[in-house]
Chain A
Amino acid sequence: MPQIAQILETYASQFFWLMIVFGLVYFTIGHGMLPKVEATMDARNRKIADDLAAAELARAEADDLGDSGEAGLAAARAAAQAKASDAKAKGAKDAEARLAKADAEISVKLAAAEAALSAATAKAMASIETVAADAAADIVAKVSGAKVTPAQAAKAVKAVMSNG
């Protein structure tokens, strides 16, 4: 086995060159290049973490905006509903008032018309009595030849008419 057979002749050379080579590996690669690779990895990981945090923040903000938007929408809807019901109530009140006014006007007119009617009725009744008295006096004169005074005729007519 050369590893053991040659050990006395070669150990110095092996140690010497291994020290040089491994020293170079340790100092130039382990301490020179490795930290840069690690720094790159750290920078990437930090960037990914930062981006994720920013995205999370943006999501929370968007959620907030969505919530406030919904609240605004609800408020606007409530306001619109209130306005609509107000308008409806006002319209109903207006209509009622106008109706009442019209009612009043109509009843005034009705009363006037009724008064006129009753006046006309009374007047007609009066003239009917006169005509009936005249006719009664004429009829009496023609049938009996007796002269009846208008006053008597009117009295007789009134008596008859009041009877029915």
Chain B
Amino acid sequence: MAGESGKIDPMYQFKIEPLAQLNLAGYDVSFTNSSLFMVLVLGALWVFMAGGMKREMVPGRWQMAVEGITGFINNMLTANVGPEGKKYVPLVFSLFMFILMANFMGMMPFGIVPGVHPFTITSHLTVTAVLALFSFGTVLVVGFWRHGLHFFSLFVPQGTPLALMWLIPVIELFSFMIRPFSLALRLFVAMTAGHILMKVLAGFVINGLNAEAAWVPLIVSFPAFVLMIGITLLELLVCAIQAYVFALLTSLYINDAVNLH
């Protein structure tokens, strides 16, 4: 966390460091700290799901939690897409839970162990872009597979005046094509900004405590610490909201692909 000579670099937390070198067909696919956290997320998700698999008629707390989230995603797709939305529950559930777990994993206080720092995989554009492409790719595949070339009527909303035919489809196409970028950037920016803010505030706390003047901790560190608590709680909320937004937008886009307009 702390760089050389006591400086705190709020960007250091996003740095990818290889843990094990690996080369595949000329590509550098090293196992990095980012890969490690992906695997950790997978493990945490698996444990969470496995805990809810007792399949009891009267569920316990853990099973209730798993079923609550499952029902939540289920309802989201049924409400937005209709009965056909059930088919896309595995995808949206995987996206939602993976993003949620990744966001929370980045908030874990692993930093109390010296030399370890949590890594937020969703704060990387490469990761969010791939997730957004999964969402967007599903929409394209489902749309063309179900409707063929008729899928292009998505760009012509019902009741478009003939006089505006040259403009509306262009705007619609643009807004359609920008979806993966907005999906990827929204998550990436939200996580990055939140973590930078937390790191900067933490730097205030630590540097203030290290300052020589006795008034600095009271004036700088204490308010920064109080603010830090609030920001951390807010950031936990953002973690959940960003995962929800990603899942909700994906289900809305799938609705476009399944039902057109």
Contacts and interface: CB of A to CB of B under 8 A. Distances in A.
Interface of A: 1-4, 6-7, 9-19, 21-22, 24-26, 28-31, 33-41, 43-44, 47
Nearest to A9: B28
A38 B56 CA distance: 12
Nearest to B74: A38
Nearest to B73: A34
B79 interface: no
B238 to A, nearest CB: 18
17 contacts: A1-B192, A3-B192, A13-B29, A13-B32, A13-B35, A15-B130, A17-B32, A18-B38, A21-B38, A22-B131, A34-B49, A34-B93, A36-B53, A37-B52, A40-B55, A40-B63, A41-B67
Interface in B62-76: 63, 66-67, 70-71, 74
B90 A26 contact: yes
Nearest to A38: B70
B61 to A, nearest CB: 15
Q: Is the interface of B mostly helix, strand, loop or mixed?
A: helix
A26 B27 CA distance: 25
Contacts of A36: 53, 55
B42 A24 contact: yes
A3 B125 CA distance: 7
A17 B89 contact: no
**What 3 pairs across the A-B complex have the smallest Cβ distances?**
A30-B90, A17-B35, A12-B27
Given A3-B188, A26-B94, A38-B89, A12 B38 contact: no
A59 B183 CA distance: 54
Interface centre among A2, A18, A35, A43 (most CB of B within 10 A): A18
A14 B98 contact: no
A41 B56 CA distance: 9
A14 B52 contact: no
A10 B16 contact: yes
A97 B14 CA distance: 121
Contacts of B188: 3
Given A10-B16, A14-B124, A33 B98 contact: no
Contact of A22 (B11, B31, B98): B98
Nearest to A6: B16
A22 B49 contact: no
Contacts of B126: 3, 7, 10-11, 14-15, 18
B11 A29 contact: no
Nearest to B66: A37
Contacts of B14: 1-3
